Amino acid sequence: MLTVGLYGKPSTGKSTFFSAVTKKVVTIAEHPFSTTTSDEGIAYVSDTCPCTEFSITCNPANGTYCQSGTRFVPIKIIDVPGVIGGAHAGKGLGKQSLSALNKVDGLIYLLDLTREDCIEDFELLKNEYILWVTNILNKNWRGISKEVAGMRRPLDLVIQTHLNTFNIDPRYVKIMLEDLPRNPYDWTGNTIKLFSERIWAKKKYVIAANKADLCLDQLGVIEALQKKYGRKVLPVSSLSELILIRRQETGDVRYVRGSNNFTVLKNRDEELSRIERTMAVLGGTGVQACLNNLVFDELEQILAYPVENIDRLDDSRGRVLPGPYLMPQHSTLADFARRVHTEISEGLLFGVDARHRRRIGKQTPLQQNDIIKLVHTRKKGK
């Protein structure tokens, strides 16, 4: 399952975000290092459910659910202990936080917008990670060099095995090494640092400016942050999301994650009015936007629905629009069939795009929210 991690300095609101999206009860406190070990849970990415387009009632499967025409699809999320300066040398809970970075496909970096120095925050994680990787490579470099010289193996292959720890796609390693010396004995400390920076550059992330509810009249800071990082920075109020989810459970409000408002059903009070004001300014709590942005835009994933019957849009068990599956962008029909079932993939003939009632070939790339019938021959004996 696709995994994302929550990063940031202590007390930036990681556990608040985590609890809001997973509904898990965790320690949330003003003091730093209230989270001491990583915690895992299930969060959801969302997009419009095709049931609205076809005006039918769907039967979500694969751990997904549909609420008011929005389909929610599960991913794994990790709450990571806070990172501080010196983490690469073990300061705070440093190494634990940094090594968790290697287990995730993408990360949400939370800044505390109420802190004046938050503009420098993201550099901290980047620098600590690069220093940590540099230290590990420095420690292993003698071994890597011996392996290349003694066993006459190319550097990219040797380094690849050592890079497993850093969760780097082997396809990138050759490109990352292209302009660097082939002989590891020719590498200096600076070459190793440069290579470590390239490992960082492969990380996929979104930056979230949390506690935006406390800074509604100073959101100009976000523009400065965007300029500094050269990318979108999302305003977020994790606390608003957490309160809405809790009050939805007590029946006070009706709320669909990711929407820009909610309905008060009972017990209207100042807390809910404050959240309404926050959401009106931010266009929502920003929490679902972070997850969707990371998974669909940064990690370049799409959703695709397998169906058996293109008129009823159901599967062999009569479930309407079951699934969907989360797949990398540009996945082909053949990749989709492999994902759905090996047996189907082995006997795959072609696909039918149910929306456009069009036959598609095995190498056709799928699009977001495609509804596909996989036409196949079952293999004998299966």
Ligand X SMILES: Nc1nc2c(ncn2[C@@H]2O[C@H](COP(=O)(O)OP(=O)(O)OP(=O)(O)O)[C@@H](O)[C@H]2O)c(=O)[nH]1
Q: Which does 238 bind (CB under 5 to 8 A by kind): ligand X, Mg ion, none?
A: ligand X
Residues contacting residue 254 through CB under 8 Å, at least 6 positions apart? 248, 262, 263, 265
Q: Is 337 in the site for ligand X (CB under 6 A)?
A: no
The pair of structure tokens assigned to 367 is 């699009």
Nearest to Mg ion of 24, 162 (CB atom):
24
Contact call for residue 287 and ligand X (CB under 6 A): no
Tell me the Cα Rg of the chain.
24
Q: Which residues contact 342 (CB under 8 A, 6 or more apart)?
A: none
Residues 241-270 that bind ligand X (CB under 6 A): none
Q: Which lies closer to ligand X via its Cβ, residue 83 or residue 340? A: 83
Instruction: Pick the binder of ligand X from 64, 70, 134, 210 (CB under 6 A).
Output: 210
Considering only residues 69 to 88 of the shown chain, the ones binding ligand X according to CB under 6 A are 81-82
Q: Give the nearer residue to ligand X in terms of CB position, either 215 or 337.
A: 215
* C-beta of 2 vs 244, nearer to ligand X: 244
Q: Which does 345 bind (CB under 5 to 8 A by kind): Mg ion, ligand X, none?
A: none
Picked from ligand X, Mg ion, none, the partner binding residue 178 (CB below 5 to 8 A depending on kind) is none
On the question of a cis peptide bond just before residue 181, with omega within 30 degrees of 0, the verdict is no
| 5 lies in the site for ligand X, by CB under 6 A | no
Q: Which amino acid is at 182?
A: R
Provide the token pair at 12. Answer: 């930036």
Residue 213 within binding range of ligand X, rule CB under 6 A: yes
* Per CB under 6 A, 214 contacts ligand X: yes
Q: Which of 2, 4, 5, 35 binds ligand X (CB under 6 A)?
A: 35
Among 12, 15, 288, 301, binds Mg ion (CB under 5 A): 15
Nearer to ligand X, 10 or 41 (CB): 10
Q: Which span sits near ligand X by CB under 6 A: 6-14, 159-167, 303-311, 374-382? A: 6-14
Per-residue binding string, ligand X, 83-122, x by CB under 6 A, is ----------------------------------------
Hey, which residues between 20 and 49 contact Mg ion (CB under 5 A)?
A: 34-35
Note whether 28 binds ligand X by CB under 6 A: yes
Under the binding rule (CB under 6 A), the answer on residue 11 touching ligand X is yes
Q: Which residue from 148, 239, 290, 299 is in contact with ligand X, where contact means CB under 6 A?
A: 239
Angstrom CA distances, 141 to 11, 15, 81, 181, 197, stand at 36, 37, 29, 14, 16
Report what 306 binds from Mg ion, ligand X, none; CB cut-off 5-8 Å by kind.
none
Number of residues that bind ligand X (CB under 6 A): 24
Give me the residues that bind Mg ion (CB under 5 A), please: 14-15, 34-35
Give me the residues that bind ligand X (CB under 6 A), please: 8, 10-16, 28-30, 32-35, 81-82, 210-211, 213-214, 237-239
